[in-house]
Structure 1
Amino acid sequence: MFNLWSVSMRYIFISPHLDDAVLSCGGIIHFLVNKGHQVDIWTIFSGDPEDENYSDFAKNLHKRWKLENQNPSFARRREDKNACHILGAKFKHFPYQDCIYRKYENGMSIIQNEEDLFQKISGNQIVIIDKISNSLKKRIPHNSMIVSPFGIGNHIDHQIVKSSIIKLQHPYLWFYADFPYVLKNNQEYMSDFPINYDQEEFEITENSMKLWQIAVSSYTSQISTFWSGDKEMFSQIEEYAKKGGGNKLWKKLDIN
């Protein structure tokens, strides 16, 4: 039986934000590194804010993250470097801004509240898709394996990244389930095959599981987004894995 990891390739995991790929695929990433593959994590929305004219929503996030007195993006990039080091992956940080810092043509922040994070792509946000796609096209080696988020949960930045990658029409494109958004959405991405997709399953060892959890704990500022602390995060990742989550990738089947 052919395994996705049986042929030596470079694996590039595309992460919308500075934590998504590690949250979703930390166990798989360490597994691949352990098999001797080069694994990269490329984060798209990791650039510095254009200015400090933040929305109230962004200011409240900075306060919760305990990053209100420093450049939040710089601090988060530092967290990501630590997480990648733990898993043995290389990193690349792109200059695009997180949606909480972006504005419409009229200067209004596109994100005013929690619900806005899950809006449809519209207005000047649509052109970002082509910008990211063109940027990736110049940098992605043709014979590398690209691993994209599915966009489960419909976070606008995840939607933009997925759309950008699909436009590439890369020959080796796989998808991962966006954790922890997948817990509140479609359970088929944990235990069953999504319709019209091929599935590849990875063996997540106890060591890979532990390093996955430790790597996620590197994102100190982001733990409060989903959990009360590291203990709850460790427990949820372990429970997710026991139910079949975090160990699969999917490839769209060609259906004529």
Structure 2
Amino acid sequence: MNGTMPETVREALTAGDPIVFVSPHLDDAVLSCGALLKVLADACPVVVATVFTAADEPPHTYAARGFLRECAAGDASALFDARRQEDLEVLAEIGVGALHLGFPDALFRRRRMSGAVGAVAGRMLPELAHRYPTYRYDIARGRVARGDRPMIAAVGAAVAAAVADTGARLVFCPLGTGRHVDHLIARGTGAQFGRRTVYFSDFPYDQSAAADSIFLSRHGLEPWRWNQSIADKERLIHGYRTQVAGLFPDLVVPRSPETYWVAGRRRP
């Protein structure tokens, strides 16, 4: 199916049906799908529902402080205010609606610390008070914390509500390439929509990480690629001013085709 828009997507585009994109963070939908997003939005009502759009108060972990430094930000709340505004502006430019679901980013998700001693320990060593103490060994390893389970259920319900409210025919979700826990949680929201779900490759993680072959095989997913207007996407990505230098230190965005997966044809 490489190079050919699948029938389900082509039919939605032709009919002008509503479409929802589930974005883990405040840039992922445009990073991974910006070229196709623009084409779909010219013909269909499109909404990007971004899941993890908030931070928490300090003290922060070493990993979170590093992220703030990378973004040249001194305050996490102010940074996420700026990121939400960037997202609204970029999506509005291409006629896409934005829905920010308000769940905290993995870098800032706290665990419950019991008692006064626990609270003091969490202030002295913030890693003790966070579900994901490090980026490399926790967030990027794809091990979703058990303590996130109630939040995961709430995320699924929020995405389902967004799909119901918009009447979306198709739901685009990340494949979770790169194993970032927030991307895997966002991927999990797609199961409830069955064959209406289209999965997208997580850019730029997919520049160095392979797709999850076990997940693809289990769900019978077939790839297709979109390479039109890829150059135009670079301008949209640069609209995420707080993020672009951290993602692309030389400010050059690789012009890679966008990759998507849909369920293959049912066997008779």
TM-score range, shorter chain: 0.7 to 0.9
In the alignment, structure 1 residue 216 sits paired with structure 2 residue 237: yes
State the TM-score, normalized to the length of structure 1: 0.82
Among 61, 70, 83, the alignment partner of 1:64 is 70
Q: Which runs of 5+ in 2 are unaligned?
A: 1-5, 114-121, 123-128
Helix, strand or coil at the partner of 1:43: strand
**1:37 is aligned with what amino acid?**
C
Structure 1: distance between partners of 2:62 and 2:227: 44
Helix, strand or coil at the partner of 2:15: coil
Residue aligning to 1:86: 93
C-alpha distance after superposition, 1:23-46 (max 9, x if no partner): 000000011123x11111110000
Residue aligning to 2:32: 24
Helix, strand or coil at the partner of 2:14: coil
User: Could you tell me whether the CA contact under 8 Å between 1:104 and 1:123 is conserved in 2?
Assistant: no
Residue aligning to 1:117: 139
Structure 1: distance between partners of 2:201 and 2:72: 28
Among 106, 124, 138, the alignment partner of 2:161 is 138
Structure 2: distance between partners of 1:220 and 1:143: 30
Structure 1: distance between partners of 2:212 and 2:224: 14
Q: Which runs of 5+ in 1 are unaligned?
A: none
User: Could you tell me whether the CA contact under 8 Å between 2:107 and 2:135 is conserved in 1?
Assistant: no
In the alignment, structure 1 residue 6 sits paired with structure 2 residue 17: no
* Larger Rg over CA atoms: 2
C-alpha distance after superposition, 1:123-143 (max 9, x if no partner): 211222211111222231354
Q: 1:60 to 1:188 in 2, by over 3 A?
A: closer
Structure 1: distance between partners of 2:188 and 2:112: 22
Residue aligning to 1:198: 222
User: Could you tell me whether the CA contact under 8 Å between 1:143 and 1:172 is conserved in 2?
Assistant: no
Structure 2: distance between partners of 1:143 and 1:101: 31
Q: 1:112 to 1:162 in 2, by over 3 A?
A: same
Structure 2: distance between partners of 1:155 and 1:202: 24
Give how far 1:181 is off: 0.8
Aligned length: 236
User: Could you tell me whether the CA contact under 8 Å between 1:87 and 1:211 is conserved in 2?
Assistant: no
Residue aligning to 2:3: none
Structure 2: distance between partners of 1:20 and 1:157: 11
Q: 1:68 to 1:147 in 2, by over 3 A?
A: same
Helix, strand or coil at the partner of 1:198: strand
User: Could you tell me whether the CA contact under 8 Å between 1:26 and 1:87 is conserved in 2?
Assistant: no
Residue aligning to 1:153: 178
Q: What's the % identity of the aligned pairs? A: 19
User: Could you tell me whether the CA contact under 8 Å between 1:128 and 1:160 is conserved in 2?
Assistant: no
